[in-house]
Every structure is written in structure tokens, then in C-alpha cells.
Amino acid sequence: MTHTETSVKMVLDRWYASIKSCDNIISNLSDELMQKEIAPGKNRGAYLLGHLIAVHDDMLVLLDMGEKLYPELSEPFIKSPDKAASHIPSVSELRGFWANQNEVMKQKNDQLSTEEWFEKHTAVSAEDFANEPHRNKLNIIITRTSHLQYHTGQLVLLK
């Protein structure tokens, strides 16, 4: 295994371990607990789950892997704060979206070669990428892993 292949594997291993960690927390929280605020006046667990799904949905586009699976989640979970939307999916529906999205992302990630991880993502121009080659697909996984870990830490507070 080359250093480049090892680097990609390390990043993806951390991504999948972070997904598993979050999934374990979500699986062990009741629907009732998911409706509670992380702290008084802060986001509810259900909102954080919807937010993670919506952000990860954007990754499909950023990584040039296809269209969003759940575009309807962008408005209530990215563009709006918690409790602003009049209706959001149930916790049960969100859990199903989460599981499906993780499976789709894994399938699509597995299709990329090592070299493709170092190609530009869709939010950077070819000109900017020439000057900033670190703005690649693998960097999207790195930044989204940090984001996922941050919100996983918040979800732990619901226990």
C-alpha cells in the first residue's frame, strides 16, 4: 500500500468510525429523548440528526456522486434554526434516512479510486483548485468528519 493509499484509508476509516459512533448514540436514544434540547434553549436531538443528514446529503453533490437523497431536509435543517419549521420528519423517519444515507455514501465512496479522492470537489473552480489543490474530495471527508464528531458530542448530552 502506498503512502497515498494509506492516507485515504486513514481518513475513510476515521469517517466510518465516526458514523458508527454517532449511529450507536442515536440508536440508544429513545424517540422521546431525541425530542429534548441538548441544553436549555439549544437544538433538539431530532434537529441535530436531521441537520447531519442534510449536511451529508450535500456531500453527494460536493463529491460529484449524484443528487441529494433528501433535498427537502435542506430548508428545515440547514437554512432554518431548530423549531422554525412547522413540520419536520419524525425521529423514526430520520433514523431511516440516516441508515439509508450512510449505506449509499459507503457504496459511492467505495467506487472512488485513490486518485479520485485528490480531485477537486464541485464547489471549487478549476482555477482555484490549481492554486489550492488541498480543496479536494478527501478534504470534504475530513471537514465533515469534524462536523459529525462535534454534533455527536452534543447528542451524548441527551443521555
**If pLDDT is split at 50, 70 and 90, which confidence band does 159 have?**
confident
Dist. CA 15–CA 94, nearest whole Å: 20
CB 51 within 8 A of CB 79: no
Domain span at residue 75? Answer: 3-156
**Angle, CA 110 vertex, CA 104 and CA 114 arms, to 5°:** 140
- 63-113 pLDDT, tens digit per residue, is 999 999 999 999 999 999 999 998 999 999 999 999 999 999 999 999 999
Task: Indicate the number of domains in the chain.
Answer: 1
Three-state SS sequence of 48-93: HHHHHHHHHHHHHHHCCCCCCCCHHHHHHHHHCCCCCCCCCCCHHH
The percent of residues in the chain predicted with pLDDT above 70, rounded, is 100
What CATH number corresponds to the domain at position 54?
1.20.120.450
pLDDT (0 to 100) of residue 24: 97
